[in-house]
Amino acid sequence: MPIGFTATGARLLRLADTLLPEIEQAEREVARLSQGDHGQLRVALECHTCFDWLMPVMDEFRRRWPDVEIDLVSGFHSEPAELLRGGGADLVIGASRGSDYATFPLFRFEILVAMAQKHKLQGLRRLAAADFEGETLITYPVPESRIDLIREVLRPAGIAFERRSAELTVAILQLVASRRGVAALPNWAIKNYVDFDYVIAKPVGEHGLWSDLFVSVPPALAQKAYVLDFVNVIREQCAATLDGIKLLS
């Protein structure tokens, strides 16, 4: 027999659904009164595939904080943390930036390897380091130290590989589909391409290759209500829309 709420439990659940948004709105209003509701949030991305989910997040944030000017720092940045240090950005989404900055955890995600249909590795259930010997790895134009597959898997195993770069996710996947190489990308970035059989995706290692995503800001912004709420919006929206992620505590 299926498990369900009692009539009392269902009524309390409906009450919570009504009250919780009102409580959250009240908390934002109190924060505006105590801290002010004006500010600026210039966002830089270390995670290039984050564009896929960031736009809806920014739309929701603007709805909640209409007087906070939020914008993306334009252009391609090989080291976004330098923008924080130099005052060119207020917030970076990417890896943890260490003790110099206030860091807020977002979520953990799996990195999958995309390959063309009928690739020689398509029959493998999971990929090991040795499977990449002689392959061309297509990446964003960032230092090798920021590419999890290279840093965590290939370099420790001494695997020889070629590398080619492209700035856009769609360009990377076009190169993959046309058999120019393979690419290691977050699961959400390739899901639609896999669903439509444009490419194949394979996990790496026995337990998968996972990466953690954070928000980093200068210490002076760490307690700003709109910064804390921006982090909350990211976590809420991504938990609801991205398959296979795990919120970090």
CATH of the domain at 137: 3.40.190.10
Check whether residue 77 and residue 129 sit in a common domain. no
Check whether residue 143 and residue 220 sit in a common domain. no
Check whether residue 204 and residue 221 sit in a common domain. no
Q: Is 27 domain-assigned?
A: yes
| Strand residues in 116-194 grouped as ranges (E) | 136-139, 162-165, 183-186
**Angle CA 148–152–158, to nearest 5:** 120
Q: Is 4 domain-assigned?
A: no
Check whether residue 202 and residue 218 sit in a common domain. no
Q: Is 1 domain-assigned?
A: no
**By three-state DSSP, how is residue 28 classified?**
helix
d(CA 182, CA 111): 13
| Structural domain harbouring 127 | 110-210
Tally of structural domains, the chain: 2
d(CA 61, CA 229): 8
pLDDT score for 6: 77
pLDDT score for 74: 77
Letter for the amino acid at 95? A
List 112's β-bridge partners, or say none: 185
pLDDT score for 26: 47
Chain centroid to Cα 180, Å, comes to 26
Buried b (16+ CB within 10 A) or exposed e, 176-212: bbeeebbbbbbbbbbbebeeeebbbbbbbeeeebbbe
Check whether residue 33 and residue 57 sit in a common domain. yes
d(CA 88, CA 122): 44
Check whether residue 14 and residue 101 sit in a common domain. yes
Check whether residue 103 and residue 114 sit in a common domain. no
Q: What is the DSSP letter of 135?
A: P
pLDDT score for 206: 95
Check whether residue 226 and residue 239 sit in a common domain. yes
Block means of pLDDT (10 residues each) for the chain, length 249 residues? Answer: 64 59 50 62 91 93 96 78 89 86 96 97 97 97 93 97 95 97 96 96 97 95 96 97 95
